[in-house]
Chain A
Amino acid sequence: MGYILVPIDKNQPLAVAALNNAAKATGGGTVTGTGASPATAIAAVSGSGSGASVTVTKGGSDSIATATITVTVAGDNYSIGDVVSIPAITGGSATKTSAVALYTIVDGDLVGDTGDQTIPAEDVLFAMPNDDDEVDLITRNWNSGTGAGANAAVTKYTIKVTGGSAISDEGDLAYDADGALVKESQGHLVPEIVWNSAVIDSGNSGLSVTYTD
């Protein structure tokens, strides 16, 4: 049985909530003040994430490791293990920091499912372009339906792209999926769907797979 790999959440935002690894944040100099600081844009030290902002709230000591770092703007394209920097926060009347702080993104900081998903390719008859930023992988598996409507009697996988701007070229999604199906038929081991630039450049996130029976 051969499979294809569907990359999930390649452009992943941070969860708008407190970050989970703040105790291991470094730098930040001396943390002073009370209450949440003004929202501050963070920068990528490693990885390709961008666009997120956070607030810092002083904890039990003057160390950044005791502070609470809360995401206020989710940003895009972050991954587990990325290191981001929080510039020194010197404005406002609440929590301030005197130096740049570094934070490493961990599982739980990201929105949605971070795992890729495999689909058994030998059951898939073809990739059908669909509207609504989707591609349907139509299978040969009977779902007990007897209706005369197209695809009424078979199951399908739907790969959906959400977030970002609308995809105007849904046919491209089918080509991308079909490319992996063809590779699988040619003996490639678990080929990954390589999404075209229309998906990658659209700022989309949350590629999801649902199985409809």
Chain B
Amino acid sequence: MASRIQFPYNGTTVAVSPDNANTTLSLNVDGAYAVTQSSGNLFVHYEDTMGAGKSLKVELDYVGGANAALVSDAARLMSLIKTVQQQPGSCPIFKLTDDVPTAATPANFRLEKQTPFTALRGDAV
């Protein structure tokens, strides 16, 4: 069983049917050991080596600009990852601190499909 965390996903770039709007997609966090924040996005770092001194990381690409994901969100996500790694099957949902939809800005801080939806790279750590 993989350890997974669910993230709100609002596929406005690649459409979803109304039945599935504002639901979640999940990320396998087995082997994740760190989370960093940059430009409003979060990066989950894995222990998997990718060759040439690089390791695996997954970008959680949020809409909402540079302030979408905060540094404190990275810390909260890392804390949640540690919890989930000890409780496989729990599959909690992680939301950003500022993910409080209002009538004026509904679903503003959900994961958005870019091209690609999420970048996966063997970047140096």
Chain A residues in the interface with B (C-beta under 8 A)? 2, 121-122, 124-131, 138, 140, 142, 144-146, 148-154, 168-172, 174-175, 178, 181-182, 184-187, 196-198
Q: Which of B2, B17, B119 contacts A121 (CB 8 A)?
A: B2
Is there an interface contact between B16 and A171, defined as CB atoms closer than 8 Å?
yes
- Bitwise, B17-43 to A at CB < 8 A (1) or not (0) is 101100111111011000000000000
With A129-B11, A154-B56, A182-B91 as known contacts, state yes or no: A169 contacts B20, CB within 8 Å: yes
- Bitwise, B93-125 to A at CB < 8 A (1) or not (0) is 000000000000000000001001111111000
With A127-B25, A142-B50, A175-B20 as known contacts, state yes or no: A187 contacts B1, CB within 8 Å: yes
**A contact residues around B118 at 8 Å (CB):** 126, 128, 138, 150
**A contact residues around B14 at 8 Å (CB):** 129-131, 169-171
Is there an interface contact between A182 and B26, defined as CB atoms closer than 8 Å?
yes
With A128-B118, A142-B51, A151-B120 as known contacts, state yes or no: A175 contacts B23, CB within 8 Å: yes
**Interface assignment of B67: CB less than 8 Å from any CB of chain A:** no
**Interface assignment of B70: CB less than 8 Å from any CB of chain A:** no
With A169-B20, A170-B15 as known contacts, state yes or no: A126 contacts B56, CB within 8 Å: no
